[in-house]
Amino acid sequence: MNSYVNTAVGALLGTVFVLMSVSIASESIFHSENPEKEGFAIVAEEASAADAGGAAPAAAVPIAQLLGKADAKAGETVFKKCQACHDGTKGGPNKVGPNLFGVVDRPIASHEGFAYSSAMKDYSKGSSEKWTFDHLNHFLAAPKKYIAGTAMGFAGLQKDTDRANLILYLHTLADSPVPLPDPNAPDTATQ
């Protein structure tokens, strides 16, 4: 054989030998055992028959009572989660979601210049339904469960205090905020 061919074949075999040796050595050095128990298991919640019918999530404490202990300054901090999709300034722009200035007691799906989902328009009954404190409480707990088919992709605020703080803050975003509900009033937003 030609000496160039022998040199090329030798170089190829030498390279393969080095790569295999490094692979075997690194596997023995960096080998990890499977854990006995998984560190964190993600369990998906399955929709029950009640959820399929569009039932609202059960609120343990009525929002009227929660608002009595709420803190608007803490709600402003919670609102930072909303700012990626919503603006809260007077005359501010619509983003992915509508502007939220004056949202408390505003007719649902009525903010000018925003294209609402058909589910939200249907729920609003021609904008005759309003964003009451109760509606906001249930919607913010689980938007897709409260209004099935809504385009809002937010998972919701599970903590009652976070929702109450946020709703109290949203209440302040108005020229003349509506009065807070009576803490002894019953929850009126159950569907």
> Does residue 95 lie in a domain region?
yes
Q: State pLDDT tens for residues 142-158.
A: 999 999 999 888 889 99
At 186 the pLDDT is 63
Q: 167: which strand partners?
A: none
Query: For residue 17, is it within any domain?
Result: no
CATH code at position 134 = 1.10.760.10
Question: How many Cβ atoms are within 10 Å of 93's Cβ, its own excluded?
Answer: 10
State residue 41's pLDDT score: 61
Closest CA to 171 of 77, 117, 103, 85: 103
- Answer whether residue 15 is part of any domain: no
Residue 72 domain flag: yes
Overall domain count for the chain: 1
What is the model's pLDDT at position 44? 55
pLDDT at residue 40, as a whole number: 63
- How far apart, in Å, do the first and last CA atoms of the chain sit? 88
Q: Is residue 63 part of a domain?
A: yes
pLDDT tens-place string over residues 2-15? 888 999 999 999 99
Q: What is the pLDDT of residue 26?
A: 87
Q: Answer yes or no: is 123 within a domain.
A: yes
Helix (H, G, I), strand (E, B) or coil at 39: coil
In the block, tokens 């009227």 appear at 64
Pick out the chain residues at pLDDT < 50.
Answer: 47-59, 191
Domain that holds residue 71: 59-172
Residue with token string 């901090």: 77
Alpha helices in 113-157 (DSSP H): 118-124, 133-141, 143-146
- Establish if 88 belongs to a structural domain: yes
- In a domain? residue 155: yes
pLDDT at residue number 87: 93
Dihedral sign, CA of 52, 115, 100, 112? negative
pTM beyond 0.85, yes or no: no
